[in-house]
Amino acid sequence: MKLSKAKFIVKAGGQIRGKLRVPGDKSISHRAVMFGALASGDTKVTGLLEGEDVLATVSAFRAMGVQINGPKNGYLEIKGVGLNGLSAPNQALDMGNSGTAMRLLSGIMAGQNFNSTLTGDESLNKRPMSRVAEPLATMGAMINTEDKGRPPMVITGSQQLTGINYTLPVASAQVKSALLLAGLYAEGKTSITEPAPTRDHTERMLRGFGYGVDSDYPKISLTGGGKLTACDIDVPADISSAAFFIVAATIAKDSEIVLEHVGINPTRIGILNILILMGADIQIQNKREVGGEPVADIHVRSAKLKGIEIPEDQVPLAIDEFPVIFIAAACAEGLTTLSGAEELRVKESDRIAAMAVGLKILGVDVQEKTDGIIIRGGPYGGGKVDSVSDHRIAMAFAIAGLRASGQIEIDNCANVATSFPNFVTLARNCGLTIESVS
């Protein structure tokens, strides 16, 4: 529903049951479009997420002369133009609400021989881009941003890029990926050192497209001047979308669900590790590998959770799933403490602040920290909360309805379409009483 005032109304209680496949992984979908466009030959993609974020990436490459057929039912065909085959767009490339698309594309655009501008919606244009713009500048890129490093990003083409040896100040797959993508166009070697493991979809997919990447944790390196060769991509179901149903089946009484074909990349399973530490009943079944990415079916049953101190080494592995982890913590016995998660303050919203405000409205005992949160679990009620136009916060509070004692009304939910267009339908089908209204 593309309406700024769209809201969810969720009735209290419910039971979660069934077998379902959530939409394709957003991170992998973005990369499949980008790499397919920059490859030589035709790339066929199945399981693509047809959310607004990914469609913004598709539109950007079409605007640069790439022929893309689809998507239809998750299927997409991309006629690759090669690393140096993009054409200058006629206008600014609008990335909508997608920070992933903007950051990764900034690395690609830094290596082009034409000028470009990357912009987004009101929310995206408030997000900091200096953490990609600054290291790209050390490679020789010329990027101008608005005050405090905010978009639009104006990128001057025809700059000679040079590989760098860069240590990330904060673990970030998006910054790492932007620099690696710029490294494709750079002279010499680009090496990135991570302070903690982050998702490695970029490295895996580059190898899938035939580009050599050296991974010797904590350093990832590649040398510029190579080429990408088209291949077929089968996108796994997104664990970030599956997370809402994993928590739902865990916190709702007498519930059981199987989530099929979910990506279980080791750099993305913080949500599973954290919930299991809290006492969740989660079984990983039918493990296999598809297109270089590990996938499995995830079987979840109701469980009584206990509060924990979330290990800091799990934070980068669950960074997108914390809104719904906070709902699990609100249903757990005792205190759950999160530290080392400053990154949550610069996502689509300040997710620590927004979740703390909403949880307090429901009656949950919450204490904000600069780099995290403390949540004391227990019974909570209903109320009216604001998702602040953040898709993950909207869906997290929808799941909270399963344990609420009253109805929950969630405002500003239109952006759920960016990552999970059929969330309401799937949620209804497995037992949540939810309505989307304008």
Model confidence over 77-107: pLDDT tens digits? 999 999 999 999 999 999 999 999 999 999 9
Model confidence over 208-233: pLDDT tens digits? 999 999 999 999 999 999 999 999 99
Beta bridge partners of 237: 24, 262
Per-residue buried b or exposed e for 328-338, using 16+ beta carbons within 10 Å of the residue's own CB? bbbbbeebbeb
CA–CA gap between residue 435 and residue 139 (Å, rounded) = 49
CA–CA gap between residue 229 and residue 78 (Å, rounded) = 12
Q: How confident is the model at residue 438, as a pLDDT? A: 86
Which sign, positive or negative, has the C-alpha torsion 121, 54, 112, 104? positive
- With 70 as the cut, is the pLDDT of residue 365 above it? yes
- With 90 as the cut, is the pLDDT of residue 330 above it? yes
Q: How confident is the model at residue 1, as a pLDDT? A: 33
Segment 46-65 shows an average pLDDT of 96
Q: How confident is the model at residue 188, as a pLDDT? A: 98
- With 70 as the cut, is the pLDDT of residue 2 above it? no
**Mapping DSSP to helix (H, G, I), strand (E, B) and coil, where does residue 129 land?**
coil
Q: How confident is the model at residue 292, as a pLDDT? A: 81
Q: What percent of the chain has a predicted confidence (pLDDT) above 90? A: 93
**Average per-residue pLDDT for the chain:** 96
Domains assigned to the chain: 7-24+236-437 (3.65.10.10), 26-234 (3.65.10.10)
Active site residues: 320
Q: How confident is the model at residue 165, as a pLDDT? A: 98
Model confidence over 124-137: pLDDT tens digits? 999 989 999 999 99
Q: Which of 392, 295, 256 is nearest to 47 (CA)?
A: 295
pTM, two decimal places: 0.87
Model confidence over 152-207: pLDDT tens digits? 999 999 999 999 999 999 889 999 999 999 999 999 999 999 998 888 999 999 99
- With 90 as the cut, is the pLDDT of residue 291 above it? no
> Which single residue is written with the structure tokens 């009253």?
406
| pLDDT band with cut points at 50, 70 and 90 for residue 357 | very high
CA–CA gap between residue 121 and residue 417 (Å, rounded) = 14
